[in-house]
Amino acid sequence: MRAGHFLPLRNACLTGLMCMSLAFVAPASFAQSTTSTPQAAKATPQASKPKTATPAKKTTQKSTTKKSTTATKNASTKTAAPKKAAPAGTPQGSRAQKSSSNTQKALAAGATTAAVTSAASAQRAQAERKSGNPTGALRSNVVFVQDLNSKTVIFSRNDNVARPIASITKLMTALVVVDAKQPLDEMLQVTQEDVDVVKFSRSRLAVGVRLSRGDMLHLALMSSENRAANALGRHYPGGMPAFVAAMNKKARDLGMHDSRFVEPTGLSSANVATPRDLVKLMQATAARPSIRFYTTNQQHEISSRGHATLFRNTNMLVTNPSWDIRVSKTGFINEAGQCLVMVARINNRDTAIVLLNADGKGTRIGDAVKIRQIVQNRQAVAMSRAELN
């Protein structure tokens, strides 16, 4: 074949091969571009992920918040009932943070405590109803009330223990002085020996003051003057040891078998007695007109060294005209608390009232007022029933 004829054929072949090559390369390029597109698409969301992730987080947070709110509501709903059963003083709201099992335990514990408290209150109320003893309204730790005409104990609380009686001791001091028939007009002097070195209490009687035995007795009983009471003991025949011995002998003679005295003022906590013993002491002192007068007198003025000094009764009830008090004495030291003993006429009957270890001066007075109201009400009810029968 000639060269001239071969060249056109060669060119045609080359052209065909080029076309075939283009036909093969184009699908491959398209396939490659198609394969790389998903990767690009994947890369695009990764690049914009913070934008699309924010709604996702918000959705998750909202759902979590809803779950937490729902759980809190459920917990509040579940713990609403325990508040009713919980004993007084239980902190509210703490149980809502606990699991349901802890709530059930708290409920069980609360119910048990409430049941025990309720049972104790019911038992105490039942006992008070049976004995007619309304001492729950009184705040003195020791309460003893007795009708002296019938010897009936109206009600009592903690009356079986001998305890410190503070200045109620001065009733025994006065009883020993009066029964010894020592002259009331004899002049006595307050000395350094009469100064309180036990409780370091203050006194309006200065060392060196001279008063009659009657004035000393008056101030010791009415105003609870410790120096006056001590001076009375010192001027007893035989001195203080003989006076203390006379106090204890007098207690035995009166049947005060649970009482003991070591000094005449009551500043020592070793002066002790039971409420029943104190009733015997009050009965004895109420039978002595001078003691009865001194303990219920409202005020008394003394003159010493050219100065007049006014003393008042430590029991404010003696100034109340609605009270008919036959004998009275107050007292206080830390070991005894606030104390008050009286024999008062209530509905024409002598009634002994013993109040020891009260919270304050106002408490013992308030308790005495309540006791009179209770006794009056009970007697009124008894009289009404008698008239009906």
- How many angstroms separate the CA atoms of 21 and 15, rounded? 10
- How many angstroms separate the CA atoms of 79 and 95, rounded? 7
Q: Bridge partners of 353?
A: 145, 342
**170 among known catalytic residues:** yes
The residues near 165 (Cβ < 8 Å, ≥ 6 apart) are: 266, 271, 272, 273, 278, 331, 336, 339, 356
Out of 140, 170, 280, 329, pick the active-site residue.
170
**With a threshold of 0.75, does the pTM exceed it?**
no
Closest to 315 measured CA to CA, from 334, 333, 339, 291 = 339
Out of 140, 156, 167, 259, pick the active-site residue.
167
Closest to 203 measured CA to CA, from 228, 222, 221 = 228
- How many angstroms separate the CA atoms of 370 and 350, rounded? 16
Q: Is 368 helix (H, G, I), strand (E, B) or coil?
A: helix
pLDDT of residue 256: 98
pLDDT of residue 94: 32
Q: Angle at the Cα of 181 (from 175 to 183), degrees rounded to 5?
A: 115
Closest to 347 measured CA to CA, from 315, 377, 387 = 377
Q: Work out the burial of residue 326: count CB atoms within 10 Å of its CB; fewer than 13 is exposed, 13-18 middle, 19 or more buried.
A: buried
pLDDT of residue 44: 41
Report which secondary-structure segment, H or E, holds 382.
helix 361-388
Out of 140, 203, 223, 224, pick the active-site residue.
224
**268 among known catalytic residues:** no
- How many angstroms separate the CA atoms of 229 and 218, rounded? 10
Strands (E), 220-376: 272-273, 299-304, 307-312, 325-333, 337-346, 349-358
- How many angstroms separate the CA atoms of 344 and 346, rounded? 6
pLDDT of residue 33: 43
pLDDT mean values, one per 10 residues, the chain (389 residues): 50 56 46 42 41 44 46 45 35 34 43 37 46 71 95 92 97 98 96 94 94 98 98 98 98 98 97 98 97 97 86 96 96 96 95 93 92 85 61
- How many angstroms separate the CA atoms of 250 and 260, rounded? 10
pLDDT of residue 46: 43
Q: Tell me how far CA of residue 233 lies from CA of 87, 154, 176, 217, 241, in angstroms.
A: 55, 36, 9, 11, 9
**150 among known catalytic residues:** no
Closest to 352 measured CA to CA, from 259, 283, 295 = 283
pLDDT of residue 137: 82
Quickly name the fold that domain 135-388 has. Answer: Beta-lactamase (3.40.710)
**Can you give the residue ranges of every domain in the chain?**
135-388
pLDDT of residue 86: 33
